[in-house]
């Protein structure tokens, strides 16, 4: 396994040493949480609480707004003090429920199932649905949808994505060290739901301890294989991971299910276990708060809805040199302008970068056709041509160069010696033409 | 809550970038030509440094004045004008009068590069257009070759013919005779003790620079190897008069501007294809045209015209050899 490595990719400095040795600790409970009703790809939730209503920890506050959606729950016990529009980390304004924490940590009644592995797949699926689980790697795609492939698309493999190829982030790494058994239980639940006998955990080999921990946990478990994968960004991109582990290539415009594979994130698998075993909804997650711009990098277990400012404060605050704060990793995350935005189900990290670490956005020069981006593109595209077409406004031309196969991993812009904002130009082009 | 002292920067991902910059590449390529320049100064004397220095100064100044006049951003610090001047100088004969470098630099930087929009937009290799312009405009001055001497008294050096010139006019036997024996000829070509353009003669010094560029990843093997491989093959098959498969590929590779052209000129990013498969086609084309000119054309040397002709095809080659899209089945 791992012999069919994808082409392209880059080796950015991973900077994981800042937080890799910090065990996961629980973040201090916040005074209030802001729970956006849309934390996932798909239809937003509908609020089912009213202002002044008392809610318990784990109680549903927003019900799923459709099939491609996931309910949201209170992450603290307390009182709903506002339902209104608040900014999220991506700069969008989202309907959110604000709950004041009464610090009592009173749980809603959860459906405990010690014998969860004996439950029929449909019941397990129901638990995952009720828990509001979404992909926790960043894209936040509702897990239930991935677990409900159409009949004509059989699945034969589940892959857990432990590559955590984004620089700086160490949340999945810590989780694999600290909760390997639970993660594998989550994988087994996923396999059962999908009726699959083959499960893989793919981990980049720059994390030997995680590979070891997961291998030990997987010992004697039928059908489960832990694979160390070569370290290369974006190893953790779904299509790249599938290629590295199974040798299958997801065709353009197709989904992993088209090559009979479902990929889930490490954190997601852990959440699936917690949902199946304890009936616990997805109300907290591991967030790496790191970067040279933050005083004490940490891996924190954070209640969904906690404000970024609260976490940064807990990590000793920002250094004076901090110039950019990112929600997610530095390759694909979002720069945030104000720190009073909530952590959501998809927030894998908060990275504060200093001047030395930042790519300057303003100053770029013309493409010199060096071809570095072409060599780096894991999708086999020609980012140089895409960026030139987009820059000149020839969006249809960009389409001919397979514009919509780009998933914006940023490898091209990372290697570009002219510092061209290639991803930005590609996104402009995507917004201007129909796929 | 005020926990940031300054406003945070917001921009689109990725938020980190490699340290590689265009100017670092340009300066590194310039630095890689240093061994060849040292050898040039050794064989052709201080005059070599003067000529090359003049090319560099004129190139940088041309770019500066042009950009100032047109109120454009001054980009002389990116090193590309410097490199163009350096390469032009290395492609000139040792004894050219001072106005030759000036005119050549003007043509290279302003006509070939800036008029087309500056770095990244030129179709042709600027230094080679500069040289081609000079060769056509001053055919006599551009073909006076002085004999190399290691004595630093090159100002009144004797004129002679280049190995390729002798090969063309008098044949291979005469060339070997002039150098004593075949092994000695190879050795002299390798070390650079022969007539030729200022920076092209020392194959070994050029190869040291090329190795540095390959090691640093500034160039890849695709263009040089296909260029040299094709040339060697053609030289071997058709290089000898009257018989097939009797030519001398080593002689062809080590003479003229082959090494300089294959590693430092044909690999120019802007004017060569950016897709690897396309680069191989580009290199094969360069090799084919070079040997066609050397064996059948009117000029003894064909590297310059070969690269310039292939420059025209670079965009077309890129179109034809689009990279393979992930997941797309090959037809």
Query: Rounded to a whole number, what is the distance in Å from the CA of B147 to chain A's nearest CA?
Result: 38
Asked whether residue A367 is assigned to any structural domain, the reply reads no
Token pair for A79: 């009182």
Residues A253 and A134 in one domain: yes
**Which tens digit of pLDDT belongs to each residue from B276-301?**
999 999 999 999 999 999 999 989 99
Residues in chain A within 8 Å Cβ distance of B329 = 251
Query: Rounded to a whole number, what is the distance in Å from the CA of A62 to chain B's nearest CA?
Result: 28
| Structural domain ending residue among the three candidates A278, A297, A319 | A278
pLDDT tens-place values along chain A, 435 residues long: 445 689 999 999 999 999 999 999 999 999 999 999 999 889 999 999 999 999 999 999 999 999 999 999 999 999 999 999 999 998 899 999 999 999 999 999 998 999 999 999 999 999 999 999 999 988 899 999 999 999 999 999 999 999 999 999 999 999 999 999 999 999 999 999 999 999 999 999 999 999 999 999 999 998 999 999 999 999 999 999 999 999 999 999 899 999 999 999 999 999 999 999 999 999 999 999 999 999 999 999 999 999 999 999 999 999 988 999 999 999 999 999 889 999 999 999 999 999 877 766 567 889 999 999 999 999 999 999 999 999 999 999 999 999 999 999 999 999 999 999 999 999 999 999 988
Query: Rounded to a whole number, what is the distance in Å from the CA of B131 to chain A's nearest CA?
Result: 22
pLDDT of B1: 44
Residues 6+ apart with CB under 8 A from B251: B163, B167, B172, B175, B185, B186, B189, B235, B239
pLDDT of B155: 53
In this structure, are residues A305 and A29 in contact, taking their beta carbons and an 8 Å threshold?
no
Minimal-distance CA residue of chain B relative to A368 = B120
Asked whether residue A235 is assigned to any structural domain, the reply reads yes
pLDDT of A396: 94
Candidates B10, B22, B324; nearest CB to A365: B22
CB within 8 Å: A418 and B14: no
ipTM value of the model? 0.92
Cα separation of B321 and A208, whole Å? Answer: 39
Residues A262-274 as b/e (b if ≥16 CB within 10 A, e otherwise) read: bbbbbbbbbbbbb
CB within 8 Å: A371 and B16: no
Candidates A339, A366, A402; nearest CB to B118: A366
Cα separation of A33 and B36, whole Å? Answer: 67
Residues in chain A within 8 Å Cβ distance of B28 = none
pLDDT of B321: 87
| Structural domain ending residue among the three candidates A236, A261, A278 | A278
Residues A126 and A257 in one domain: yes
| Rounded (to 5) percent helix, strand, coil in chain A | 30, 25, 50
Residues in chain A within 8 Å Cβ distance of B272 = 369
More confident residue, B4 or A391: A391
Residues in chain B within 8 Å Cβ distance of A410 = 13-14
CB within 8 Å: B15 and A353: yes
In this structure, are residues A253 and A404 in contact, taking their beta carbons and an 8 Å threshold?
yes
Angle at B210 between CA B208 and CA B214, to 5 degrees: 120
Angle at A308 between CA A358 and CA A93, to 5 degrees: 95
Residues in chain A within 8 Å Cβ distance of B15 = 324, 326, 330-331, 333, 335, 351, 353, 357-359
**Measuring CA to CA, which residue among B131, B120, B127, B251 is closest to residue B183?**
B251
Residues in chain A within 8 Å Cβ distance of B270 = 368-369
Residues 6+ apart with CB under 8 A from A240: A6, A9, A234, A378
In this structure, are residues A135 and A143 in contact, taking their beta carbons and an 8 Å threshold?
yes
Asked whether residue A31 is assigned to any structural domain, the reply reads yes
Rg of chain B on CA atoms, in Å? 21
Q: Is the peptide bond before A77 cis (omega within 30 degrees of 0)?
A: no
Q: How confident is the model at residue B154 (pLDDT cuts 50, 70, 90)?
A: very low
Average pLDDT over residues B297-313: 95
Cα separation of B74 and B61, whole Å? Answer: 11
Asked whether residue A232 is assigned to any structural domain, the reply reads yes
pLDDT of B132: 97
Residues in chain B within 8 Å Cβ distance of A367 = 120
Minimal-distance CA residue of chain B relative to A89 = B10
Query: Rounded to a whole number, what is the distance in Å from the CA of A385 to chain B's nearest CA?
Result: 10
Number of Cβ pairs closer than 8 Å across A and B? 180
Residues A87 and A150 in one domain: no
pLDDT of B244: 92
CB within 8 Å: A421 and B11: yes
In this structure, are residues A97 and A162 in contact, taking their beta carbons and an 8 Å threshold?
no
Asked whether residue A257 is assigned to any structural domain, the reply reads yes
Spell out where chain B has E strands.
145-146, 159-160
Residues A250 and A285 in one domain: no
Token pair for A269: 């698998």
CB within 8 Å: A381 and B325: yes
Residues A196 and A268 in one domain: yes
Minimal-distance CA residue of chain B relative to A10 = B18
Residues in chain B within 8 Å Cβ distance of A366 = 117-121
* Number of folded domains that form chain A: 3
Candidates B8, B75, B121; nearest CB to A323: B8
Token pair for A13: 């400095």
Residues A303 and A342 in one domain: yes
Minimal-distance CA residue of chain B relative to A240 = B326
**Which tens digit of pLDDT belongs to each residue from B50-68?**
999 999 999 999 999 999 9
Minimal-distance CA residue of chain A relative to B217 = A372
Asked whether residue A1 is assigned to any structural domain, the reply reads no
Residue A55 sits in a domain whose CATH number is: 3.10.20.600
Residues A158 and A264 in one domain: yes
**Measuring CA to CA, which residue among B43, B293, B283, B266 is closest to residue B167?**
B293
Cα separation of A409 and A344, whole Å? Answer: 21
Residues A270 and A325 in one domain: no
Residues A166 and A214 in one domain: yes
Query: Lowest-confidence range among A69-73, B157-161, B211-215?
Result: B157-161
Residues in chain A within 8 Å Cβ distance of B326 = 6-7, 239, 243, 249-250, 252, 378-380, 405
In this structure, chain A runs to a length of 435
Residues in chain A within 8 Å Cβ distance of B4 = 318, 322, 325, 339
| Structural domain ending residue among the three candidates A325, A354, A383 | A354
Minimal-distance CA residue of chain A relative to B22 = A417
Cα separation of A346 and A268, whole Å? Answer: 10
Token pair for A29: 């409970």
Asked whether residue A360 is assigned to any structural domain, the reply reads no
Alpha carbon of residue A126 to chain centroid: 22
Average pLDDT over residues B92-107: 95
Residues A90 and A121 in one domain: no
Query: Rounded to a whole number, what is the distance in Å from the CA of A165 to chain B's nearest CA?
Result: 13
Residues A194 and A272 in one domain: yes
Residues A172 and A303 in one domain: no
Q: In whole numbers, what is the pLDDT of chain B averaged over residues?
A: 92
Q: H-type helices in A77-234, by residue range?
A: 121-130, 143-146, 171-178, 180-194, 208-218
In this structure, are residues B3 and A318 in contact, taking their beta carbons and an 8 Å threshold?
yes
Asked whether residue A123 is assigned to any structural domain, the reply reads yes
Which of A321, A359, A403, A415 should one mutate to test binding to chain B, selecting the residue with the greatest count of B CBs within 10 A? A359
Residue A153 sits in a domain whose CATH number is: 3.40.50.11540
Residue A410 belongs to domain spanning: 372-432
Q: What share of chain B in percent tops pLDDT 70?
A: 95
**Measuring CA to CA, which residue among B17, B14, B20, B12 is closest to residue A410?**
B14
CB within 8 Å: B25 and A370: yes
Residues 6+ apart with CB under 8 A from A7: A378, A380, B326
């Amino acid at each position: 396994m791992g012999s069919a490595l994808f082409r392209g990719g880059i080796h950015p400095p991973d900077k994981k040493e800042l937080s890799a040795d910090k065990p996961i600790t629980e973040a201090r409970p916040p005074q209030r949480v802001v729970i956006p009703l849309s934390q996932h790809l798909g239809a937003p939730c509908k609020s089912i609480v009213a202002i002044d209503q008392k809610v318990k920890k784990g109680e549903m506050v927003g019900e799923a707004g459709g099939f491609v959606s996931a309910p949201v729950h209170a992450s603290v016990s307390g009182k709903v003090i506002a339902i209104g529009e608040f900014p999220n980390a991506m700069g969008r304004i989202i309907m959110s429920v604000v709950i004041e924490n009464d610090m009592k940590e009173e749980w809603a009644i959860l459906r405990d199932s010690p014998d969860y592995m004996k439950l029929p797949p449909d019941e397990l699926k129901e638990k995952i649905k009720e828990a509001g689980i979404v992909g926790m790697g960043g894209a936040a795609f509702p897990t239930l949808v991935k677990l409900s492939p159409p009949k004509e698309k059989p699945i034969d493999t589940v892959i857990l994505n432990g590559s955590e190829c984004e620089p700086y982030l160490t949340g999945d790494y810590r989780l694999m060290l600290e909760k390997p058994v639970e993660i594998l239980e989550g994988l087994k639940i996923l396999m059962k739901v999908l009726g699959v006998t083959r499960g893989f955990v793919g981990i980049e080999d720059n994390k030997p301890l995680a590979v070891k921990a997961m291998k030990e946990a997987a010992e004697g478990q039928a059908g489960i294989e832990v694979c160390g994968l070569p370290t290369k960004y974006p190893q953790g991109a779904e299509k790249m991971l599938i290629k590295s582990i199974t040798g299958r290539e997801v065709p353009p415009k197709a989904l992993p299910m088209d090559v009979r594979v479902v990929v889930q994130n490490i954190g997601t698998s852990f959440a699936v276990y917690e949902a199946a075993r304890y009936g616990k909804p997805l109300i907290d997650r591991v967030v790496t708060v790191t970067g040279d711009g933050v005083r004490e990098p940490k891996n924190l277990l954070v209640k969904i809805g906690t404000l970024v400012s609260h976490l940064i404060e807990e990590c000793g605050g920002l250094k004076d040199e901090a110039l950019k704060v990112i929600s997610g990793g530095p390759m694909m995350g979002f720069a945030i302008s104000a720190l009073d935005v909530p952590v959501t189900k998809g927030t894998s990290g908060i990275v504060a970068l200093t001047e030395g670490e930042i790519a300057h956005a303003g100053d770029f020069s013309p493409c010199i056709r060096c071809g570095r981006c072409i060599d780096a593109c894991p999708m086999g595209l020609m980012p140089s041509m895409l960026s030139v077409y987009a820059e000149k406004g020839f969006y249809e031309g960009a389409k001919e160069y397979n514009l919509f196969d780009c998933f914006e991993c940023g490898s091209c812009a990372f290697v570009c010696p002219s510092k061209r904002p290639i991803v930005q130009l590609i996104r402009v082009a995507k917004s201007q033409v129909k796929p | 809550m005020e926990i940031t002292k300054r406003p945070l920067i917001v921009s689109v991902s990725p938020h980190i970038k490699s340290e590689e910059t265009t100017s670092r590449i340009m300066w590194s390529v310039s630095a890689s030509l240093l061994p060849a320049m040292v050898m040039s100064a050794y064989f052709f004397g201080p005059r070599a440094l003067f000529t090359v220095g003049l090319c560099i100064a004129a190139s940088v100044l041309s770019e500066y004045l042009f950009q100032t006049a047109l109120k454009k951003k001054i980009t002389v610090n990116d090193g590309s004008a410097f490199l163009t001047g350096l390469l032009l100088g290395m492609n000139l004969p040792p004894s050219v009068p001072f106005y030759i470098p000036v005119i050549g630099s003007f043509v290279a930087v302003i006509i070939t590069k800036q008029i087309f929009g500056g770095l990244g937009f030129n179709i042709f290799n600027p230094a080679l257009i500069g040289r081609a312009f000079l060769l056509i405009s001053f055919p006599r001055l551009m073909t006076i070759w002085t004999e190399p001497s290691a004595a630093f008294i090159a100002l009144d050096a004797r004129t002679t013919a280049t190995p390729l010139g002798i090969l063309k006019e008098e044949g291979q036997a005469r060339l070997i005779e002039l150098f004593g024996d075949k092994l000695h000829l190879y050795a002299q070509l390798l070390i650079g003790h022969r007539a030729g353009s200022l920076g092209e003669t020392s194959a070994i010094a050029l190869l040291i620079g090329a190795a540095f560029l390959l090691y640093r990843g500034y160039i890849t093997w695709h263009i040089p190897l296909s260029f040299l491989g094709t040339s060697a093959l053609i030289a071997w098959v058709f290089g000898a008069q009257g018989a097939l498969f009797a030519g001398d590929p080593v002689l062809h590779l080590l003479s003229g501007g082959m090494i300089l052209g294959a590693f430092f000129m044909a690999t120019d990013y802007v004017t060569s294809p950016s897709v690897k498969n396309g680069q191989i086609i580009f290199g094969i084309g360069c090799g084919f045209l070079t040997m066609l000119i050397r064996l059948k054309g009117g000029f003894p040397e064909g590297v310059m015209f070969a690269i310039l002709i292939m420059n025209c095809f670079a965009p077309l080659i890129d179109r034809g050899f689009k990279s393979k899209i992930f997941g797309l089945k090959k037809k």
